[in-house]
Chain A
Amino acid sequence: MLEICNLCAGVDGKPILKNLNLQVKAGEVHAIMGPNGSGKSTLAQVLAGRSDYEVTGGSVSFNGVNLLEMKPEDRARAGVFLAFQYPVEIPGVNSTSFLKAALNECRKARGEEELDAMEFLSLVKKKTKLLELDQSLLSRSVNEGFSGGEKKRNEVFQMAVLEPKLAILDETDSGLDIDALKVVAGGVNKLRRPDNAALVITHYQRLLNYIVPDIVHVLVQGRIVKSGGKELAMELEERGYDWILETVAANGKP
């Protein structure tokens, strides 16, 4: 589904991702772990199409098309979804009408009929239950005045409504207490299907107790230095990142 080859990207001329390689197949959940500043969020933002980041080399193919040439909205319509680490508050833009517009854009792109207001509301009802999201939040402006937990829940809720093929969760666990974490992870798990995939970016192993990954990658200094099964996450939790950093340093590769 997703093939990243030798991806190089940076911001303001400063390289951050250096020859990053990653393959994600349908039905898989990949975790990307790494110390602060290793490029985890940059990867997420580059995949979503944020223009502040400059791609200087490599390729990203999504279901056979060149993702890097697509506008952010076209990536979303093609089925890429980024759950933001810091969801943006947008005063004056109503949550419900925003999400309805977004869903209908995605449905149009998939060749599906647009939903009318009634159909949309019944879908919303179903999905809010899944995330135990207070439905009254949706009558407010997008993320405005939401608590940290509500914002993260709202991200996964949007994901549940839009049903992307590839979900990228950028530190969705940060700032969540354990109950909220369970709800968010439970929501993500319920959305797992053989024909979709998820890229779970996290600093801590904790989230992976609830969203069990097929493969864990360690990102250091802009490249994946180690991949393994879910036990790798446990090892990182126990031993921290230092031993990986030391191994990388010993091998002489940045």
Chain B
Amino acid sequence: MSDSLKIVFDSFANADANGLPHWLRTIRGAARVSAGQLGFPTVQHEEWRFTNMAPILQLPLHPAEKLKEPLTSEDIAPFILGLDAYRLVFVDGHFCANLSSLPEPGNDLQLGNLMGELARHRPEVEEHLTLYADTNANFFTALNTAFFQDGAFVFLAAGRTADKPVHLLFVGASEQPGATSLSRNLILAQRGACLKVVESHISLSDAPRVTDTVTELILGPEAQVEHCKVQQESARAFHVATIQASQGRDSQWTSHSIAAGARVARNQIQTVLAAEGAGAILNGLYLGDAEQLIDHHTVVDHAKPHCESHEFYHGILADRAHGVFNGKIFVRQDAQKTNAKQTNRNLLLSDDAMIDTKPQLEILADDVKCTHGATVGQLNDEAIFYLRSRGIGLEQARRMLIRAFANDVIERIGIEPVRTRLEQMLEQRFATGEV
């Protein structure tokens, strides 16, 4: 293990929560070993070829401390996305009960912070936590597993529909360069349960902070979960996220990833279609400008027959921004009658903007339907001229076309106030015609 990694690990180890149950301490120990073996990713790693994480190691990494002056509800008011929701708020990785709003006891939906649930020895946590996100493949997932500080626990009982969406709000507030939050979320929807979750990440400081977050979602048979991640961190932040779903028979998972912030953002969004009839929809929109790098790696693992997956990712990149899309689809030998579709479209608004897009299909079954397509283009000159020829100014014409391209993804979000807020966010971001 390199010295710099050892220093990082030691700093996190000191903060390692005491009093964790034995089973978890064992898992964390193993994950730490795994992270050490994997090593910090460099562009020599195939999975990180385009995404240089090295600048993180230049930062004095340390677990973000609790703010001396706690935030108030006014501080977070601009970030609630208009949502009438149950809400768990984490500031620099630390749970803020005073900013959160939980369902009444007895509600079908049960929410809490993970550390609290661990202290209460909640059986579902022990049964599922860390079981799905692979600590042997991704350094940051292993790091998170070894050292996570806290996070959300969301549980919806069989056959129930949540009466409100759940909003998980992660606020980066520390002014300390290198302050790192390691959040861990566990979302369980039992058989036939129906749940919408919004996970948003924002910054109140523009310090070069680091977020390493892992969300595991477990969908029981026939469960329906919509998960919408909105990342709007500051321009100097580093953001690494793993979202790992595991889907039961006839379950339906819809994932949206809206990535607009951070200097470097990496999203690893993965699902295993582990039983027949499961369906997954993975939508994404990444918006980059200046020197931003925004990377999405998706993995859809068709493990069983008769499953469907639809991926739909759009990217809009301006200035010297760099986008990465890597979409893996595995169709296991057993997974006959698979229907998998992947689309990635990119709009480059400047000569220096760049996209690396790569579909990766590994198909071992022989009776399947798999399609993929990627496009890279500029704004359509013909369309711009058409709009101008009707009296619409050049800048407005460009904005209309960019917005149309983005809206193609936004309008797929089924959580209404979030959709409207994102449309407004796009409006502002495109106000000058650039992203």
User: Which A residues form the contact surface with B (CB < 8 A)?
Assistant: 48-51, 71-73, 75-77, 81-82, 84, 87-88, 90-93, 98-99, 101-103, 105-106, 109, 141-142, 158, 162
Contact = CB atoms under 8 A, between A and B. Distances in A.
B394 A73 contact: yes
B47 to A, nearest CB: 33
Contacts of A103: 391
Contact of A158 (B383, B390, B397): B390
Given A162-B390, A162-B391, A92 B385 contact: no
Contact of A73 (B388, B405, B408): B388
A251 to B, nearest CB: 36
B383 A105 contact: no
A84 B396 contact: no
B406 to A, nearest CB: 9
A96 to B, nearest CB: 13
B388 A71 contact: yes
Contacts, number: 78
Give the dominant DSSP class at B's interface: helix
B382 interface: yes
Interface string B284-298: 000000000000000
Contact of B396 (A51, A101, A141): A101
7 contacts: A48-B385, A72-B385, A76-B389, A91-B408, A101-B392, A102-B390, A162-B391
Given A91-B408, A105-B390, 6 more contacts: A49-B389, A50-B385, A72-B388, A87-B386, A90-B387, A92-B401
Contacts of A102: 387, 390-392
A91 B404 contact: yes
A77 B403 CA distance: 24
B386 A88 contact: yes
Contacts of A81: 389-390
A82 B389 CA distance: 7
Nearest to A87: B386
B389 A77 contact: no
B401 A72 contact: no
Given A98-B400, A101-B396, A90 B386 contact: yes
B349 to A, nearest CB: 16
Interface of B: 380, 382-383, 385-394, 396-397, 400-401, 403-405, 407-408
B431 to A, nearest CB: 15
A51 B384 CA distance: 11
Given A88-B382, A93-B401, A98-B400, A73 B391 contact: yes
Nearest to A159: B390
A212 B143 CA distance: 79
Given A84-B386, A98-B387, A98-B400, A92 B393 contact: no
Nearest to A92: B404
A59 to B, nearest CB: 21
A43 to B, nearest CB: 15
A109 to B, nearest CB: 7
A49 B403 CA distance: 25
A76 B391 contact: yes
Closest 9 CB pairs of A and B: A92-B404, A76-B391, A102-B390, A105-B391, A72-B388, A88-B386, A73-B388, A106-B391, A102-B391
Given A71-B394, A88-B382, A105-B393, A93 B400 contact: yes
A73 B297 CA distance: 42
Contacts of B380: 88, 90
A247 to B, nearest CB: 35
Contacts of A105: 390-393
Contacts of B382: 88
Nearest to A48: B389
Contacts of B388: 49, 71-73, 76
A67 to B, nearest CB: 13
Nearest to A158: B390
A109 B391 contact: yes
A176 to B, nearest CB: 20
A105 B385 CA distance: 15
Contacts of B383: 88, 90, 93
Contact of B404 (A49, A90, A99): A90
B312 to A, nearest CB: 13
B39 to A, nearest CB: 44
